[in-house]
Chains A and B, each alone.
Chain A
Amino acid sequence: MKDIAQVVEDTAARLLKISATILPTEVKNTLIKDEAETSGKLGKSQLHAINENVHIAETQSKPMCQDTGLVAFFVKIGDKFPIRSEVKTALIKATKKATSNIPLRPNAVDMFKGNTKNNVGLRGYVPWFYFDLVEGDECEIIALPKGGGSSNVGKMKMIPPGKGIRGVKEFVVEAVAAAGPLGCPPYTVGVGVGGGEDMCMNLGKKALLRPLYEYHEDKQIASLEKELLQILNKLEIGAMGLGEGSSVLDVHMEFAARHPASLPVGVVISCWALRHAGATIDKEGNVEYHPQ
């Protein structure tokens, strides 16, 4: 019988390594396609540099950006998976281990005591966990490290509900325009609508995990995603904000019910390096890594 907690720890550490060094295939292919389709020399040279850098990262197994991000895990635990709270402990251990082994840049800074040097906060909130309880006997873990530059351009707003969907679109356009060249475009944009002031940002981040060009199963939401992708590219931000190449690779949205008096909108923006990696562990401790 395998030590399940150890399996979770080793798997999570490996997921942090994969996410830091290998882009999901569809993100990689989209950036390559964008380079091929960009006629302007400036945008093309920026995209070429990005693609060359991504290639070096994968072949040399090194982090693709010096900012290896703030670590978050999306975890689904099945009713019959052998461990529960130990999963959390294992993920924290994995983060420390990955920080020294890969290495990751130490990015967890305590406001009073400084950098913790291991990517784990002193007060229990970093790495951040999104736990979900599901049926079955498996545990799914997705690591999503996110860089500071693109997180700095994220935005949230409580819109008057009377503005409706049009108000949502306006705010997304304003947020991405304000991000401009600052967050290392081309961007992938996750939009969370509804819930509450906290939930809309969580939903926006979750939306980033959906593979590029896989649209929402609700046709109305899918059509809104496609419309926003088209209009955001009219901003002409371009690769690295130089006006050429795509501004936005894709837009994904998640909707929650809202309070009658509120219409919260969260815009979470990822830089070109949309990094995440996942795996599923069964109750025996067998691990299946999701295709990257």
Chain B
Amino acid sequence: MSLVFSGLMEYHLTTPIPPEELKKIMIGDIVYLTGTVVTARDEAHLKALELHKEGKEPPVNFTGIGLFHCGPVMKKNEDGEWIVVAAGPTTSARMEIFQDEFIKTFHPGIIIGKGGMGERTAKACQEETCIYGYFTGGAALLAADRIKKVRDVFWYDELGMPECLWVFDVEDFGPLTVTIDTHGGNFTEDSKKNIAANRDKILQELN
């Protein structure tokens, strides 16, 4: 058994990404993103959703932009401006429990992280026209290199450096391998099944 990719195209997208652009993209395609990317880990997801329930809105409009599962290492330069030291992706699976609700509420264009996400997120991506882009795990400096400006930061005092919302201007941020598309495809699940099938075959043939 080997894996089959629907797509193998390369796209350079600019935020806010129009839904019709997102619909062209298939699992296995590679995306480079230019425009706005906002970091959010567990606590930022929770806080944004809670605010919405109270009838308030978070300080960022997430529509069509990149939502980055990342707790960056930041420091201030001599002029007191924030700069990015390292900004690799964190494991997205932790966000699976509320990612679908977040997508339905705030409509980001692309979720960026590592390790892939589950069926709930894939379903929300199909219904709400969103994709998931897998950034290379550990490639923290490459990510930092593609972040051209730290535009804003919100909730820093309350949530701390790794958990708060960092608003970045990025240029050709990637490569992001699309593992969830708007057509119900979820490459990570396919890959897990492939590995399990290969494992069973190896164990059968073992001396």
The number of residues on chain B lying at the interface, defined by a beta carbon within 8 Å of a beta carbon of chain A, is: 43
The residue in chain A whose Cβ has the minimal distance to the Cβ of B93 is A182
Min distance, Cβ B4 to any Cβ of chain A, angstroms: 10
B188:A166 contact, CB within 8 angstroms: no
The residue in chain B whose Cβ has the minimal distance to the Cβ of A60 is B141
A241:B116 contact, CB within 8 angstroms: yes
Residues of chain A lying within 8 A (CB to CB) of residue B196: 177
Stretch at the interface among B55-63, B80-88, B98-106, B150-158: B80-88
Residues of chain A lying within 8 A (CB to CB) of residue B115: 181-182, 241
Complex Cα spacing A67 to B72, Å:
10
Residues of chain A lying within 8 A (CB to CB) of residue B182: none
* A256 at interface by CB-CB < 8 Å: no
Residue in B177, B188, B192, B201 whose Cβ sees the most chain A Cβ within 10 Å: B177
Complex Cα spacing A231 to B204, Å:
12
Min distance, Cβ A183 to any Cβ of chain B, angstroms: 8
B188:A65 contact, CB within 8 angstroms: no
Q: How large is the interface on A (under 10, 10 to 19, 20 to 34, 35 or more residues)?
A: 35 or more
Stretch at the interface among B39-47, B118-126, B130-138, B163-171: B130-138
Complex Cα spacing A166 to B134, Å:
36
B145:A184 contact, CB within 8 angstroms: no
Within the complex, which residue of A42, A53, A273 is in contact with B142, where a contact is CB–CB below 8 Å? A53
Complex Cα spacing A237 to B194, Å:
9
Within the complex, which residue of A149, A234, A240, A241 is in contact with B202, where a contact is CB–CB below 8 Å? A234
* A207 at interface by CB-CB < 8 Å: no
Q: If the complex has contacts A242-B177, A242-B187, A243-B194, are A41 and B138 also in contact, measured as CB distance less than 8 A?
A: no
Within the complex, which residue of B3, B179, B198 is in contact with A177, where a contact is CB–CB below 8 Å? B198
Within the complex, which residue of A42, A50, A173, A271 is in contact with B203, where a contact is CB–CB below 8 Å? A173
Per DSSP, are chain B's interface residues mostly helix, strand or loop, or mixed? Answer: mixed
B141:A42 contact, CB within 8 angstroms: no
Residues of chain B lying within 8 A (CB to CB) of residue A231: 202, 206
Residues of chain B lying within 8 A (CB to CB) of residue A169: 206
* A209 at interface by CB-CB < 8 Å: no
Residues of chain A lying within 8 A (CB to CB) of residue B137: 149, 184, 240, 271
B86:A66 contact, CB within 8 angstroms: yes
Complex Cα spacing A50 to B175, Å:
11
Residues of chain B lying within 8 A (CB to CB) of residue A240: 114, 134, 136-137, 177
* B51 at interface by CB-CB < 8 Å: no
Residues of chain B lying within 8 A (CB to CB) of residue A173: 199, 202-203, 206
* A64 at interface by CB-CB < 8 Å: yes
Q: If the complex has contacts A50-B139, A240-B114, are A235 and B199 also in contact, measured as CB distance less than 8 A?
A: yes
B142:A170 contact, CB within 8 angstroms: no
B206:A166 contact, CB within 8 angstroms: yes
A53:B136 contact, CB within 8 angstroms: yes
Within the complex, which residue of B139, B191, B202 is in contact with A242, where a contact is CB–CB below 8 Å? B191
Interface CB pairs A-B, < 8 A, 22: A46-B175, A49-B142, A53-B141, A56-B142, A62-B85, A62-B86, A63-B86, A67-B88, A149-B91, A170-B206, A173-B199, A180-B195, A184-B137, A231-B202, A234-B198, A234-B202, A236-B198, A237-B195, A240-B136, A243-B2, A243-B191, A272-B138
Residues of A near any B CB (own CB < 8 A): 41-42, 45-46, 48-50, 52-53, 56-57, 60, 62-67, 103, 105, 147, 149, 166, 169-170, 173-174, 177, 180-182, 184, 231, 234-237, 240-243, 271-273
